[in-house]
Amino acid sequence: MAGVDFAGWTALAGDSPTSRTEWAAVVGAWSEPHRRYHDLAHLAAVLGIVDQLAAAAPDPAAVRLAAWYHDVAYDPLRSDNEEVSAARARIGLLGLVEEARVAEVERLVLLTAGHDPQPDDANGAVLCDADLAVLASPAPAYAAYASAVREEYGHLSDDAFTAGRIAVLEHLLALPALFRTPAAADRWTAPARANLAAELSLLRARSS
């Protein structure tokens, strides 16, 4: 898939045998059959948006690597996927990139648990904006995203999923800002808030 090929990876982690093995393992993780939204298409989309916003990041290479790893561990039965993904990044990148960048990648992956970077965290702003860009999709694409997320949580009853999803949407709407880079904030805030509010209204109506 374009955007997640080895060429993009080697620009960040080199072309050693260890790097090739790690790239294959990361792509394999993103290709797990239970993924319906958090899959290679999502990874490619996030990487593409990071490219669009990269000028705002002081360390765009760290942000790109964090994008590769931000959902590398994704098990809907667990609540610690970001922590597992961050640990996976540290193990996988050791010896491939310098320690300071490994630490920054680990920090950035952890940040995607709440998508609430500090005002002076430009790297975090770029990664979180790229991860949340789907929220500003046209209505049909947003509906497809929401449906795919529901499929990933097929083990939950409708009531349990609805309660959890409402909590997620309320958290997002309560953030100081959905998007932190000026370019993303200008383009995506209004459509994203409209999509979130519409889904929230629908879910609340179903649960009442």
Q: What is the pLDDT of residue 207?
A: 83
Q: What is the pLDDT of residue 1?
A: 67
Number of neighbouring beta carbons within 10 Å of residue 17: 7
Task: Supply the pTM of this predicted model.
Answer: 0.97
Q: What is the pLDDT of residue 2?
A: 61
Q: What is the pLDDT of residue 3?
A: 78
**Number of helical H runs and strand E runs in the chain:** 10, 0
CATH code for the structural domain at 6-207: 1.10.1300.10
C-alpha pair distances (Å), 76 with each of 36, 50, 119, 154: 11, 25, 30, 9
C-alpha pair distances (Å), 137 with each of 49, 132, 142, 177, 201: 13, 10, 5, 17, 18
Task: Kindly provide the b/e burial profile for residues 24-49, where b requires at least 16 CB atoms within 10 angstroms of the residue's own CB.
Answer: eebbebbeeeebbbbbeebbbbbbeb
pLDDT-flagged residues of the chain (< 70): 1-2
Q: What is the pLDDT of residue 108?
A: 98
CA-based Rg of the chain, rounded to a whole angstrom?
Answer: 17
Q: What is the pLDDT of residue 25?
A: 98
Q: What is the pLDDT of residue 208?
A: 76
Both tokens assigned to 109: 């992956």
